Structure 1
Amino acid sequence: MIPLWLFNSFYLSAFNLLLAPQSRRVLRRFFFALLTNALLLAAFGSFQKLSGATGLFFNLVPSPQPRFFSSFIYHNHWGSFCVLMLAVALGLFAHYLHRHLLRELVRTPAMYVLAVVAALAITTPLSSSRSCTVLVLLSLLIGTVHWLRIFWKRYDGPPARRPLPAVFAALAFALLLFVGYDLAKPQIEERLRSTQTDINSLSGSKLQNHRVALYRDTWHMAKDRLPFGWGMASYPHTFQIYNTQAYGRADRLPVIYRDAHNDWLQTLAEFGAIGSALIMLCAVAPFLAFRQKLRRNAITTYLLGGCTLILLYAWLEFPFGNTAVRLIFWMLLFAAIRYAHLTYLEHRAGIATKPHPR
């Protein structure tokens, strides 16, 4: 019952964002609160990691696995959190760039947003999350190109100076990569060695790879009760029946999985096809309800883009196995829809108040 209550509390709490905010400014303030929380977690996690702590909260709490970061036990969960928060930051910066000239940005909260972007980008490799580092770099690249495109359209200065922002952006990107690599050099090198080992293990039969075997066994579990599944939170108990990796190849110890490392497959196994469809409907229904009353904007686009990245990432990992990621995902999804709806309403109100030409 606990997982059901958790889902209900997350969903219903986040659902308030679809109805309660009455202005876009209120939602932007909410986004800044989220970014401040992310910045504090990133700073705390960085000090903790660089101090060599072997447990959570500077060794006050033992960690069940060595690759933890900040208050997150699993490094890929911190990476997923960073991807979502980075989407918020990129969207807010694009919002200010749409409304201010480049020289005016220093007097806006955009500079604070850039600081959060840098912190999130640096801490992702510092946390040892390979996959999320790739997602963060992809997000940064897309965001930078989009920002330059906005500037290019709004620039009204001398033509000779138009390429300067692109040069500064390239230098800033290179500086961010250098600082990130310098701080996270031990983690990056260790993960590169691990990646090489993983690639070598795939040189033979693919089924020898534990992740592929895990997905295969999870699919067999889901297939046996495809309509309704085995029940919520049943995976760690039921999967042992289907687990073909009884013992590890190296240490010959029993292999026990609590998660499928694929949220889509695990959801199908636990809830079945019908339950999975109903969960997807929880996300799709708000879009259907407001489909005629949404207006495109940068913040909504980035928020939905971040949510989409996490949904795609869920094919390879289990980001929704983390409480914070689940809550942030639903909050950003509903906030994105609400922001687009408020943009539509404010646009219509602006048109209605314009004087008609005689």
Structure 2
Amino acid sequence: MFLVHGSVFSGLSRKTTFAFNAPYMETSAYARPSAFLPGSRPRTPPAYRVCDGMTEAVLDFMIVFAPWAFGATERWSIWTLNIAAYALGGLLFAKWLIRWRAGYRPMRWGDGGAKERSRPTGDGSGETQSAEHGAWSGGERERTASKGVTVSLAALTVLVLAWCLTSALNARSTFIYREMAFVPRDCVAWLPHSYDSRATWQAFWMYLGLALTFWAARDWLLGQTARERREARGEAREQSAEGAGGVRPSAFPMRLQRLLWVLCMNGALLALEGILQRLSGTNKLLWLVQPVINQSGELQFGPYAYRSNAAQYLNLLWPVCLGFWWTLRRATRGSGRAGGRVGGGPQVLLLPCAVLMAAAPIISVSRGGAIVAWAEILAALALLMFVQRKGHWLVRLGIILLFAASLALAGHLGWEKLQPRLKTLFSDDLGGRVEIYRNAQQMARDFPWLGTGPGTFPWIYHLYRASAQSEWAAYAHNDWLETRITFGGIGFAMILAALASALLRWFGGGGIEAHWLFVSMIWLALAGCLLHARFDFPFQIYSTLALFLHLSAIVFCLSRGDNR
């Protein structure tokens, strides 16, 4: 600081001296650029706000539309979602262009701003500064590692898409269904190639849209709302005035809250409709359309012609719904509001939603869906009881009663028809899938590295049937095996690496700080789907695959932060 001796600069009548307080003028080793000080950032360009708003609208549309459009299993619904996904990609590109042209850098969760604004200054002692410097360096290392993971996942995304595109362009043949024949084409044998160019082109356009959806969702989720930016600037002023203080726990980001509310409410309505449709005894999806396959009402559930697909979708949602409820309850309890009680606050609406969604897979009479639901219920109960081990006993009792209510509802409406199906789980050769697995294993051995081309499984499978009367399977009923067949060992390895990068991002720095329980609930949901994929085909259904990627995008935005 400096001291001025004299009354007015413009009329100095006597000698004026300036004295500098040297200790305060020294440059600190921890000084950071003033990019996060109030007023240092330019105002958000109006076009950028429009793009953000449209991104949220398109994301919400895709989330709601996909399951209700009969699971997005038909060409019209798939292309509706593809076009929406391309719109998300266009909006993401527009936001990048605005940032570059306007020199605009939006405030984002985990960009270091919150930490810099709230980092304790210490008392000036060497010991305190050394400890702070060590903590700060550790945070910088974590953020650098996280950026490396992000770049790696982006590179893997491009590689997987390039693999699909090369397979389509370098197709070895095209399958003509009416002639039941493959029309050969010239190709480079050592490059990825497809045995049906049409199927691979369809797969490429779908995967391109899903990739754009993932990255657009991530970019939007990491952005802060206007209210959050104002609160951050107010916090910076308070801590600048106080000169010290710890990090105030930030609220759960509003954008993430809104996205999760849409997911949970839509899933609950889907479960309720499926239960009511099953109780009505109709054999029409949504009481409107009778599907070409699975025309019996017991084989359907809700808008899905195949009950297991509905169970897979709901098993992906209800653990996330429970984790969301617990996170909101924890946040409101920490703020001192009445919503911290089990029955207080709007988050209480999530509890009946979770009960419905957890019961629905069992009521659907899907054996795989029921087994995965039971496994997830046991794991979720164990996680919640562990995190509440020091809490009030009434909270633990309420959690137990919640799961009991879900199981009671499922048992009352679904056990009578599910029990005989479970008894024949192995005696009926897994629903006739043993022969499919045997043929698919041979396909994997015949195409070990480059595969048959994305989307080509059904057109290659008929060549491996024992006779013309044998079942012509459209899916391997084992997505792990089918992906290895169509993408080959190399493409399959790239997909596994991308999946690991997305799921393990939480251990790095930056991003949205989230408690380990919330992340564990999302991991549990994703793990349940991956387990079910060992015996069925959830990832061949657009709505389920899109939901899996939405949840993966959420996980990829989260970090453990100070929640060690």
Compute the TM-score of the two structures, normalised by the length of structure 1. 0.81
Shifted more, 4-13 versus 209-218: the winner is 209-218
State the match for 1:304 in structure 2: 523
Q: Does the alignment pair 1:46 with 2:275? A: yes
Q: Does the alignment pair 1:318 with 2:537? A: yes
1:123 and 1:201 map into 2 onto residues whose CA distance is 24
| Native 8 Å contact 2:451 2:485 kept in 1 | yes
DSSP 3-state at the match of 2:300:
coil
State the match for 1:281 in structure 2: 497
State the match for 1:159 in structure 2: none
Question: Which of residues 461, 464, 468 is equivalent to 1:239?
Answer: 461
State the match for 2:143 in structure 1: none
Structure 1 residue 85: deviation in Å?
A: 0.5
State the match for 2:359 in structure 1: 122
| Native 8 Å contact 1:218 1:239 kept in 2 | yes
Q: Does the alignment pair 1:19 with 2:19? A: no
Q: Does the alignment pair 1:3 with 2:203? A: yes
Structure 1 residue 229: deviation in Å?
A: 0.6
What is the one-letter code of the residue matched to 1:107?
A: G
State the match for 1:74 in structure 2: 306
| Deviation digits for residues 247-290 of structure 1 (CA, Å, limit 9, x no counterpart) | 7xxxxx54110000000111111111111122223333446878
| Native 8 Å contact 1:55 1:63 kept in 2 | no
Q: Does the alignment pair 1:210 with 2:417? A: no
Q: Does the alignment pair 1:147 with 2:384? A: yes
State the match for 1:112 in structure 2: 349
What is the one-letter code of the residue matched to 1:232?
A: P
2:343 and 2:398 map into 1 onto residues whose CA distance is 15
Gaps of 5+ in 2: 1-200, 225-252, 334-338
What is the one-letter code of the residue matched to 1:200?
A: S
1:74 and 1:209 map into 2 onto residues whose CA distance is 14
| Native 8 Å contact 1:263 1:319 kept in 2 | yes
Question: Which of residues 226, 239, 249 is equivalent to 2:448?
Answer: 226
What is the one-letter code of the residue matched to 1:146?
A: L
DSSP 3-state at the match of 1:232:
coil
1:210 and 1:17 map into 2 onto residues whose CA distance is 39
What is the one-letter code of the residue matched to 1:224?
A: D
Aligned residue-pair number? 323
DSSP 3-state at the match of 2:287:
helix
Q: Judging changes above 3 Å, is the alpha-carbon distance between structure 1 residues 209 and 145 closer, same or farther for their aligned structure 2 residues?
A: closer
1:292 and 1:173 map into 2 onto residues whose CA distance is 33
Q: Does the alignment pair 1:182 with 2:412? A: yes
| Native 8 Å contact 1:3 1:233 kept in 2 | yes
What is the one-letter code of the residue matched to 2:307?
A: H
State the match for 1:131 in structure 2: 368
1:46 and 1:289 map into 2 onto residues whose CA distance is 37
Q: Judging changes above 3 Å, is the alpha-carbon distance between structure 1 residues 303 and 14 closer, same or farther for their aligned structure 2 residues?
A: same
Structure 1 residue 11: deviation in Å?
A: 2.1
Structure 1 residue 169: deviation in Å?
A: 3.7
Question: Which of residues 192, 204, 210 is equivalent to 2:419?
Answer: 192
Q: Does the alignment pair 1:268 with 2:484? A: yes
DSSP 3-state at the match of 1:200:
coil
2:524 and 2:406 map into 1 onto residues whose CA distance is 22
2:413 and 2:479 map into 1 onto residues whose CA distance is 31
What is the one-letter code of the residue matched to 1:323?
A: Y
Q: Judging changes above 3 Å, is the alpha-carbon distance between structure 1 residues 287 and 198 closer, same or farther for their aligned structure 2 residues?
A: closer
Q: Judging changes above 3 Å, is the alpha-carbon distance between structure 1 residues 96 and 291 closer, same or farther for their aligned structure 2 residues?
A: closer
Question: Which of residues 29, 50, 53 is equivalent to 2:258?
Answer: 29
Structure 1 residue 144: deviation in Å?
A: 2.6
| Native 8 Å contact 2:376 2:524 kept in 1 | no
What is the one-letter code of the residue matched to 2:208?
A: N
| Native 8 Å contact 2:367 2:421 kept in 1 | no
DSSP 3-state at the match of 1:106:
coil
DSSP 3-state at the match of 2:343:
helix
State the match for 1:352 in structure 2: none
Structure 1 residue 104: deviation in Å?
A: 1.9
| Native 8 Å contact 1:263 1:318 kept in 2 | yes
| Native 8 Å contact 2:361 2:370 kept in 1 | yes
1:175 and 1:332 map into 2 onto residues whose CA distance is 26
1:195 and 1:139 map into 2 onto residues whose CA distance is 18
| Native 8 Å contact 1:54 1:63 kept in 2 | no
What is the one-letter code of the residue matched to 2:546?
A: L
| Native 8 Å contact 2:451 2:484 kept in 1 | yes
Q: Judging changes above 3 Å, is the alpha-carbon distance between structure 1 residues 194 and 107 closer, same or farther for their aligned structure 2 residues?
A: closer
Shifted more, 45-54 versus 280-289: the winner is 280-289
DSSP 3-state at the match of 1:173:
helix
What is the one-letter code of the residue matched to 1:73?
A: A
Structure 1 residue 73: deviation in Å?
A: 1.6
| Native 8 Å contact 2:329 2:340 kept in 1 | no
1:110 and 1:151 map into 2 onto residues whose CA distance is 18
1:196 and 1:265 map into 2 onto residues whose CA distance is 26
| Deviation digits for residues 62-102 of structure 1 (CA, Å, limit 9, x no counterpart) | 35113111111211111111111012112112213434559
Question: Which of residues 78, 81, 84 is equivalent to 2:316?
Answer: 84
| Native 8 Å contact 2:264 2:321 kept in 1 | yes
| Deviation digits for residues 208-266 of structure 1 (CA, Å, limit 9, x no counterpart) | 9832332121011111111101111111111112223x47xxxxx54110000000111
Alignment of 1:155-170 (within 5 A): 155=392, 162=393, 164-170=394-400
Structure 1 residue 291: deviation in Å?
A: 5.6
What is the one-letter code of the residue matched to 2:417?
A: E
What percentage of aligned pairs have identical amino acids?
22
1:209 and 1:60 map into 2 onto residues whose CA distance is 26
Q: Per chain length, whose mean CA-contact separation is higher, i.e. which structure has more relative contact order (CA < 8 Å, sep 6+)?
A: 1
1:117 and 1:190 map into 2 onto residues whose CA distance is 23
Structure 1 residue 129: deviation in Å?
A: 1.3
Q: Judging changes above 3 Å, is the alpha-carbon distance between structure 1 residues 286 and 193 closer, same or farther for their aligned structure 2 residues?
A: closer
DSSP 3-state at the match of 1:145:
helix
Gaps of 5+ in 1: 156-161, 203-207, 248-252, 349-358
